[in-house]
């Protein structure tokens, strides 16, 4: 959500005021513009999409420094063809506000052509956009939720949480999956990071990359790709364990039984699912363990 994004629930006068106050452009040219959200300030290396920090198809994939109240909160690489994120990445810190904000969804005007209808900038709820999902795409369906990629519950402050409610951070997610195994996984990982991801300065710090695996032909409203799966991974240094720790999760985006639990897997196992080679990575360097998970330290997980 950039500083030019517009809240569709606001009256027009308030929207115009918002646009006049928040003017900085946040659809950027390079992932390096938001490097603070990556471990070692190095973006993932994803074959065919993002290699050596360079986006291979810059017409399709757009880096967004997700910004709210003139502060960058996290980063998203957005697929304008499938109209879903490739991934969102962020630096996990201590959560100081646990209250969930209202679901005020925004869009990203800068993803549209400059010649696009200016009414789009006022967040028309019935608008269909050329390069992103709109509110109308997610309405009137009983199968899919607006599924967060960077979850609101991981965000530290109220403003951080509000920043996650942008449709550029959302995918169509099967309702029972979103409210079931994926939600349970997010809460477990949050507890793990709060417990173990304490750096040498005594601060909570973990790096997270979460993304979606596009389906080959399943679309919501004949426009928005319904991912076949969602995935998430984190890595951090744990001062109390005097070691780097990492884990990952993969979940099929389908309706599921209530008691389903996702297995905790290694980074290597996730890379295999994503068809990533030895030179590809989500986290740079050699610190993040590829073949162990946090179950090594916390068997109850």
* pLDDT on residue 14: 39
Element containing residue 73 per DSSP (H, E) = strand 71-79
pLDDT digits (tens, 9 = 90+) for 124-171: 556 789 999 999 999 988 999 999 999 999 999 999 999 999 999 999
* pLDDT on residue 232: 98
Nearest-angstrom CA–CA distance, 219 and 47: 24
Q: Is 197 exposed, middle or buried (0-12, 13-18, 19+ CB in 10 A)?
A: buried
Work out the pLDDT band at 301, boundaries 50, 70, 90. Answer: low
Q: What domains sit in the chain, N to C, each tagged with a CATH number?
A: 12-296 (3.40.570.10)
| Long-range contacts of 16-25, Cβ-Cβ distance < 8 Å, separation of 24 or more | 16/122, 19/121, 22/69, 22/70, 24/67, 24/70, 25/110
Element containing residue 79 per DSSP (H, E) = strand 71-79
Residues making up the chain, counted from first to last: 301
pLDDT digits (tens, 9 = 90+) for 249-282: 999 999 999 999 999 999 999 999 999 998 999 9
Say what the pTM is.
0.88
pLDDT digits (tens, 9 = 90+) for 3-47: 344 434 344 333 333 333 333 338 988 899 999 999 999 999 999
pLDDT digits (tens, 9 = 90+) for 84-127: 999 999 999 999 988 888 767 889 989 986 444 444 443 455 67
Neighbours of 278 (CB within 10 A): 8
**R_g (Cα) of the chain, nearest Å:** 18
Beta strand pairing call for 84-92 and 71-79: antiparallel
* pLDDT on residue 102: 77
pLDDT digits (tens, 9 = 90+) for 188-235: 999 999 999 999 999 999 999 999 999 999 999 999 999 999 999 999
* pLDDT on residue 115: 41
Question: 3-state DSSP call for residue 12?
Answer: helix
């Amino acid at each position: 959500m950039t500083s030019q994004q517009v809240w569709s629930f606001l009256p027009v006068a308030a929207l115009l005021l918002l646009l006049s106050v928040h003017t900085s452009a946040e659809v950027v040219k390079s992932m390096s513009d938001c490097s603070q959200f990556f471990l070692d300030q190095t973006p993932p290396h994803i074959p065919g999409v993002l290699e050596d920090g360079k986006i291979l198809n810059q017409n399709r994939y757009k880096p967004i420094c997700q910004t709210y109240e003139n502060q960058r909160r996290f980063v998203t690489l957005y697929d304008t063809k499938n109209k879903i994120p490739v991934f969102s990445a962020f630096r996990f810190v201590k959560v100081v506000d646990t209250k969930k904000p209202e679901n005020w969804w925004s869009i990203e005007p800068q993803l549209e052509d400059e010649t696009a209808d200016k009414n789009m900038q006022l967040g028309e709820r019935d608008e269909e956009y050329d390069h992103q999902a709109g509110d109308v795409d997610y309405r009137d369906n009983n199968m899919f939720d607006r599924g967060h990629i960077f979850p609101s519950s991981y965000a530290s402050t109220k403003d951080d949480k509000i920043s996650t409610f942008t449709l550029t951070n959302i995918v169509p997610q099967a309702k029972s999956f979103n409210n079931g195994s994926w939600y349970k996984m997010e809460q477990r990982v949050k507890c793990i990071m709060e417990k173990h991801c304490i750096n040498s300065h005594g601060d909570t710090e973990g790096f997270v990359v979460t993304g979606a695996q596009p389906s080959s032909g399943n679309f919501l409203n004949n426009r928005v790709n319904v991912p076949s799966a969602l995935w998430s991974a984190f890595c951090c240094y744990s001062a109390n364990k005097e070691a780097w720790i990492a884990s990952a999760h993969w979940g099929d985006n389908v309706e599921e039984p209530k008691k389903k639990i996702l297995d905790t897997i290694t980074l290597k196992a996730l890379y295999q699912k994503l068809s990533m080679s030895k030179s590809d990575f989500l986290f740079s360097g050699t610190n993040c363990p590829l073949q162990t998970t946090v179950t090594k330290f916390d068997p109850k997980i």
